[in-house]
Structure 1
């Protein structure tokens, strides 16, 4: 089944080229089925790249998915045109009366700030509180995962000695959990962050279950016991070249930065990196949509 997106969204043509099954709004409305309604709070600076990455994953499912993009009203994005945001994005004020089957909160390049110093923190916490009653399941990515752990469970992030950047090996703690059904015992995930969260604090919290960890990158995948919140500290949604683009960006800014670990062939940044995490990315998103959204959401919200 397809994802249902606005007709003129720029990502649509790229998705068609990749043979991702998409459907415009007119055709979707003519189908007599109950689609899933997913809202994405896109906090990433290069919003169009993130749109494409997430839509590619949401489209790999037998379910019809209506996708809505949300922006912050209290922060103005500088890396995407106002026309794009006005055309394809909504605000919390415009949708807070609605119910959604799923919510995705992305990462954001603001790790150096304490949560309360983020200029849209109050808006983010209002959205997270709203999701408790208006959303079936919430997927939190990178900074979004750290924000959820802090707001819902009181677990703060801490600064790393240097940036955690690269593709790292991970292991499962419980392969029977439906979110990781089909995963290998060992798999690879890209990370790109300056902060992390405490393994000990997460293990000690009876409301949380740690599903995956890396010896080098630390905590990766956490789920709440009520299965409402899923926290991913890495970037499974990244394309093969995303870490390379971030590395070049940082070098051009004059930032002292190491090469991403286990990423460039022979550690040569002129060589093309490959994607070693794609299959597990699709598995996680399809498992989330199936077991935690579709199987759990009501057919009709009260």
Structure 2
């Protein structure tokens, strides 16, 4: 089944060229089906690139998904045309009285910034608290995972001395959990962050189900018991070239970055990188849509209630 996105969204042409089944708003009006309504809060600077990456992963499901894009505030963007934001993104006031099946909060380049120094920190807290009463399941990616742990568990910001950048091996540690259903015992996924997610620390200070960890990267995937909050500390949505773009940017800015680990063939930046995590990323998002959203959400979103999540699964 397709994802439903606005007719003129730039991602439409890219995804069509990749033979991904998308449905325009005009065609969707003739479909006699209740699609899942998923809201994406895009915190990344290059919003068109990021929205395309997430839409690509959300498309690989038998479920019809109705996508809406949310911006965190109305400050001008340095990397995205204002016309694009005005045409395709909602302000929070436009959605706060509605319910959604799913919410995705993307990463943000704020790894070395304290939470209280983030310009939109209070607004982000408002959105996350709103989601507790209006969203069936929320997916927090990379920096958003750190922010979500602060809000839900009051965990302080933990920062690595060196940036974690590259493609890392992970092991499934809870093989019967539905979110990792179909995963290989060991799989690859990219990371690009300063945040530290120690398995021992999260086990000691939260009641999260830890689902996949890495000896080098720490916790990669975790969930609350009711699957309403899912944390992904890496970037399964990244394109093959994304880490290369970040590495080249940091080089140009004189930051002397380390070469992303296990990314370039023979660890040589002159070699074209290969995406070794694509199948994992699609399966992760398909499982989240199926087991955390579709099988949990009410048919009538107007009847969303927290009572249904108090039962033992």
Deviations, residues 260-292 of structure 1 (Å, cap 9, x unaligned)? 001111111111111111111111100000111
SS of equivalent to 2:102: strand
SS of equivalent to 1:197: coil
Structure 1 residue 206: deviation in Å? 5.0
Per mean C-alpha deviation after superposition, the further-off stretch among 192-201 and 101-110 is: 192-201
Deviations, residues 61-83 of structure 1 (Å, cap 9, x unaligned)? 11111000000115432110100
Structure 1 residue 197: deviation in Å? 2.6
Structure 1 residue 117: deviation in Å? 1.2
Partner of 1:141: 141
Partner of 1:283: 283
TM-score by length of 2: 0.95
Closer, same or farther: CA 299–178 of 1 in aligned 2, 3 Å: same
Q: Tell me the distance in 2 between the aligned counterparts of 1:197 and 1:173.
A: 15
Deviations, residues 227-263 of structure 1 (Å, cap 9, x unaligned)? 1100000000101111001000000011121000011
Partner of 2:40: 40
SS of equivalent to 1:281: helix
CA contact 1:74–1:119 (8 Å) conserved in 2: no
Q: Tell me the distance in 2 between the aligned counterparts of 1:151 and 1:283.
A: 28
Structure 1 residue 54: deviation in Å? 0.6
Count of matched residue positions in the alignment of Structure 1 and Structure 2:
302
Mapped pair 1:100 → 2:100: yes
TM-align CA RMSD = 1.0
Q: Tell me the distance in 1 between the aligned counterparts of 2:198 and 2:74.
A: 30
Q: Tell me the distance in 1 between the aligned counterparts of 2:76 and 2:207.
A: 35
CA contact 2:153–2:206 (8 Å) conserved in 1: no
Q: Tell me the distance in 2 between the aligned counterparts of 1:52 and 1:294.
A: 22
Query: Counterparts of 1:82-101 in structure 2 under 5 Å?
Result: 82-101=82-101
TM-score by length of 1: 0.98
Mind listing any 5+ residue stretches in structure 2 that lack a counterpart?
304-313
SS of equivalent to 1:157: coil
Partner of 2:215: 215
Query: Counterparts of 1:38-187 in structure 2 under 5 Å?
Result: 38-73=38-73, 75-187=75-187
Partner of 1:224: 224
Deviations, residues 124-170 of structure 1 (Å, cap 9, x unaligned)? 00000000010000000000100001111112232212110000000
Partner of 2:253: 253
CA contact 2:165–2:261 (8 Å) conserved in 1: yes
